Chain A
Amino acid sequence: MYVKQISVFIENTPGRLAHFTKLLGDNNIDLVSLSVADTTHFGILRGIVADYEKAVKLISENGYTVKLTDVLAVSVPDHPGGLAEVLETLSGHDIVVEYLYSFVRNAGDHALIIFRVDKLDEAEKVLTEAGVRLLSQDEVRGL
């Protein structure tokens, strides 16, 4: 059960990020989750949107380089050590977490966290077996 993440190349020039988020806002595309990391030269914006097909079309038509990636949307118990349990499950199976970031919103007593891992299928299997809940694309749409 994967969700689609968009990755967008953002030049590290003043206003470029603002321009991008305004583009989404003006077209009623809501970023339900977002991570912007940058080096001094360029940034990659990663995020989850409700309607990724529409978002990709809009973004590429506006001249941005954009890519879709499968990631896991993990519902992590919102208590101390909740995240550690998930990470331990993954590392116990030699699954490397490439990056993770949290949702802007959370669901009650659970925090929603996006995981990008090297072995996607295996990660899904071991987390499900460990009783961790993964969100589907439809559930993300509903957020």
Chain B
Amino acid sequence: MAVWNPKIECAKRSDVEAIQLERLKWSVQHAYDHVPMYHDKMVKAGVKPSDIRTLRDIAKIPLTTKTELRGQYPFKLLAVPMREVVRIHASSGTTGQPITAGYTRRDLDTWAECIARIATAGGATENDIAQVSFGYTLFTGAFGLHGGLEKIGCAIIPISSGNTERQINIMRDFGSTVLIATPSYALYMAEVAERMDALRDIRLRVGLFGAEASTEEMRAELERRYGILATENYGLTEVMGPGVSGECEYKCGMHINEDCFLAEIIDPETGEVLPMGEQGELVLTTLAKEAQPAIRYRTRDITRLIEEPCACGRTQLRMEKIKGRSDDMLIIRGVNVFPSQIESVLVGQPGIGPHYEIVVTREHFTDHLQVKVELVDASLLEKYSELEKVRDRIRAQLRTVLQLDVEVTLVSPNTLKRFEGKAKRVTDLR
């Protein structure tokens, strides 16, 4: 398949690193000069922009947390005057103050370039009709993908999220070939399309999924239901939005746009940079962002970098599918549990639907984990033992994966929540 910008995406490693070093020096200086928070942090740590002589020197600069960014609400992170800002986005404020993101005209160009590469890697071309089912709101998702797809030359349907039956009608009538959505919403859309008996008239061939972590099992389910190539992409508002990285057709990790982002993996406990290939928390530094640089931002996402060459010919480092945000991790009776581990067991199980809900409670000082799934296979109603078999099989597999006893509850179809954006499947009542 095509590569959007082979000069960058397939460049020699030494050339990539030379670009990164030059841009890192610029970005650190820019932040130091124009964003008081970064200036103060560096002064306190006794480090100056001129101390950055190699890429490794970045470790001298202090890490930045989400809490620190929140403290700069709304515009104290801007490194340019507002007249140079042409767009403002914000992340959701559900867990506190929202985080705002400003963009200059050039930032929007950079963003579109990053998305164009990722969307091309995922299979989108100028011949495609792209249905953007992310919400066109303050969130970065819809506008981010929109800019890059437009750059490629896709015919964009900016339908936004919600009103699912209409989504399916448009998808069928307009002949959408590319779908942009969260994996959980895409799955719900497939379910509605099946109910409307419209799935066979749908011409989707590519799915570009992002904005939430998902599992290989979920991908397989989406590919099976729609008959598409489904790739995942990654990004976050704090550093730009989607476009940090994305998978190619080989689906073996997300290629990072390394000329725009410098990725490090740290030990989340100590903050130490870990050697290449080890699993830890992803830390990102923007290399080309004018309006709002981010220096060593702790993403709280757990992943691993891969430097082995990819069959697609791109030389950019890849990051593994994220295992889950470290904030999403549940600690149940002292055991670390990622919802993605539960999803990997549930999706594709015979007899049940792909939707699920996780409920954590505490009774008599003991954590209790309950997983609800929908019973969809009516033939199991012949015998209790069949229902019990389904439940016991899921419970046994969860025990193997999590090393924990989990209560599995079968519920009626269409009774669990469906999501039009990022799924919220965990209810922690502790």
* Chain B residues whose CB sits within 8 angstroms of the CB of A7 once the complex forms: 378, 381-382
Q: How far is the CA of A64 from the CA of B381 in the complex (A)?
A: 12
* Chain A residues whose CB sits within 8 angstroms of the CB of B375 once the complex forms: 9, 42, 65
- Tell me if A11 counts as interface (CB < 8 A to partner B): yes
**Given A65-B378, A67-B378, A37 and B384 touching (CB < 8 A)?**
yes
- Tell me if A41 counts as interface (CB < 8 A to partner B): yes
The SS class assigned to the A binding surface is strand
The SS class assigned to the B binding surface is mixed
* Chain A residues whose CB sits within 8 angstroms of the CB of B413 once the complex forms: 63-65
A residues 67-106 in Cβ contact with B at 8 Å: 67, 69, 98
Contact B415 A63 (CB under 8 A): yes
Can you list 30 A-B pairs, Cβ within 8 angstroms, ordered by A? A7-B378, A7-B381, A7-B382, A9-B375, A9-B378, A9-B381, A9-B387, A9-B410, A9-B412, A11-B409, A11-B410, A11-B415, A39-B388, A41-B391, A42-B409, A42-B410, A44-B384, A44-B387, A63-B412, A63-B415, A64-B412, A64-B413, A65-B375, A65-B377, A65-B381, A65-B412, A66-B378, A66-B381, A67-B379, A98-B383
Q: How far is the CA of A10 from the CA of B384 in the complex (A)?
A: 12
* Chain B residues whose CB sits within 8 angstroms of the CB of A67 once the complex forms: 378-379, 381-382
- Tell me if B349 counts as interface (CB < 8 A to partner A): no
B362-383 CB mask vs A (1 if < 8 Å, else 0) is: 0000000000000111110111
* CB-based nearest B residue for A6: B381
- Tell me if A134 counts as interface (CB < 8 A to partner B): no
CB distance from B349 to the nearest CB of A (A): 15
- Tell me if B312 counts as interface (CB < 8 A to partner A): no
* Chain B residues whose CB sits within 8 angstroms of the CB of A39 once the complex forms: 384, 388
- Tell me if A55 counts as interface (CB < 8 A to partner B): no
* Chain B residues whose CB sits within 8 angstroms of the CB of A10 once the complex forms: 412
* CB-based nearest B residue for A44: B381
* Chain B residues whose CB sits within 8 angstroms of the CB of A9 once the complex forms: 375, 378, 381, 387, 410, 412
Contact A42 B387 (CB under 8 A): yes
* Chain B residues whose CB sits within 8 angstroms of the CB of A112 once the complex forms: none
- Tell me if A117 counts as interface (CB < 8 A to partner B): no
* Chain A residues whose CB sits within 8 angstroms of the CB of B410 once the complex forms: 9, 11, 41-42
Interface centre among A7, A9, A42, A64 (most CB of B within 10 A): A9
Chain A interface, number of residues (Cβ within 8 angstroms): 17
- Which 8 pairs, one residue from A and one from B, show the smallest C-beta to C-beta distance? A67-B378, A7-B381, A63-B414, A67-B381, A65-B378, A11-B411, A42-B410, A9-B375
Contact A65 B376 (CB under 8 A): yes
* CB-based nearest A residue for B415: A63
Q: How far is the CA of A37 from the CA of B375 in the complex (A)?
A: 17
Known: A11-B415, A41-B391. 9 other contacts (CB 8 A): A7-B382, A9-B381, A11-B410, A39-B388, A63-B415, A64-B412, A66-B378, A67-B378, A69-B382
* Chain B residues whose CB sits within 8 angstroms of the CB of A50 once the complex forms: none
CB distance from A37 to the nearest CB of B (A): 7
Q: How far is the CA of A64 from the CA of B414 in the complex (A)?
A: 8
* Chain B residues whose CB sits within 8 angstroms of the CB of A8 once the complex forms: 381
Q: How far is the CA of A92 from the CA of B375 in the complex (A)?
A: 37
CB distance from B185 to the nearest CB of A (A): 20
CB distance from A87 to the nearest CB of B (A): 20
Q: How far is the CA of A64 from the CA of B410 in the complex (A)?
A: 12
* Chain B residues whose CB sits within 8 angstroms of the CB of A37 once the complex forms: 384
* Chain B residues whose CB sits within 8 angstroms of the CB of A42 once the complex forms: 375, 387, 409-410
CB distance from B371 to the nearest CB of A (A): 12
B413-430 CB mask vs A (1 if < 8 Å, else 0) is: 111000000000000000
Q: How far is the CA of A41 from the CA of B409 in the complex (A)?
A: 7
* CB-based nearest B residue for A42: B410
Q: How far is the CA of A7 from the CA of B388 in the complex (A)?
A: 16
A38-65 CB mask vs B (1 if < 8 Å, else 0) is: 0101101000000000000000000111
Q: How far is the CA of A63 from the CA of B195 in the complex (A)?
A: 12
Q: How far is the CA of A9 from the CA of B390 in the complex (A)?
A: 14
Q: How far is the CA of A63 from the CA of B391 in the complex (A)?
A: 20
A12-46 CB mask vs B (1 if < 8 Å, else 0) is: 00000000000000000000000001010110100
Q: How far is the CA of A20 from the CA of B408 in the complex (A)?
A: 23
* Chain B residues whose CB sits within 8 angstroms of the CB of A63 once the complex forms: 412-415
B293-307 CB mask vs A (1 if < 8 Å, else 0) is: 000000000000000
CB distance from A70 to the nearest CB of B (A): 11
CB distance from A12 to the nearest CB of B (A): 9
* CB-based nearest B residue for A41: B409
Interface centre among B381, B382, B410 (most CB of A within 10 A): B381
Q: How far is the CA of A29 from the CA of B316 in the complex (A)?
A: 65
B202-244 CB mask vs A (1 if < 8 Å, else 0) is: 0000000000000000000000000000000000000000000
CB distance from B95 to the nearest CB of A (A): 30
* CB-based nearest A residue for B410: A42
